[in-house]
Amino acid sequence: FQRHSPSSSMVHLLSLLNLIWMAGDGVFPVAKRVTIGVLVDMAHVNARSSLKEWVTEEVLPYVEESGCKREYVDGILIAFYKFMALVPAV
């Protein structure tokens, strides 16, 4: 990445998750859960407004620059938001 922001670390994590997600359902279930947990933790530290706004405004533009396949990123974000809803105090 040419520029740096607090969300760039999250983009790197999304890139790694993207590789795990490509393996399909039922593969690496623990890795998926642990990485989603780290993603949620990073989001809580970095988000200045609502998490959805932060992801939309600061993370997704970097994801597009990084070359991640968007089809997997959407699935990752769905798991991310589900985890946020289940464990609001994370």
pLDDT in tens, 2-33: 444 556 677 777 778 888 878 777 778 888 88
pLDDT in tens, 31-73: 888 888 887 777 776 666 677 787 788 778 877 777 776 777 8
Tell which residue, 12, 58, 63, has the closest CA to residue 35. Answer: 12
Number of domains in the chain: 1
What is the extent of the structural domain holding 76? 6-86
Query: Is 1 within a domain?
Result: no
Positions of E strands within 14-64: none
Examine the pLDDT at 1 and tell me if it is beyond 70. no
Report d(CA 88, CA 23) in Å as an integer: 28
Q: pTM higher than 0.85 for the full model?
A: no
Query: Is 76 within a domain?
Result: yes
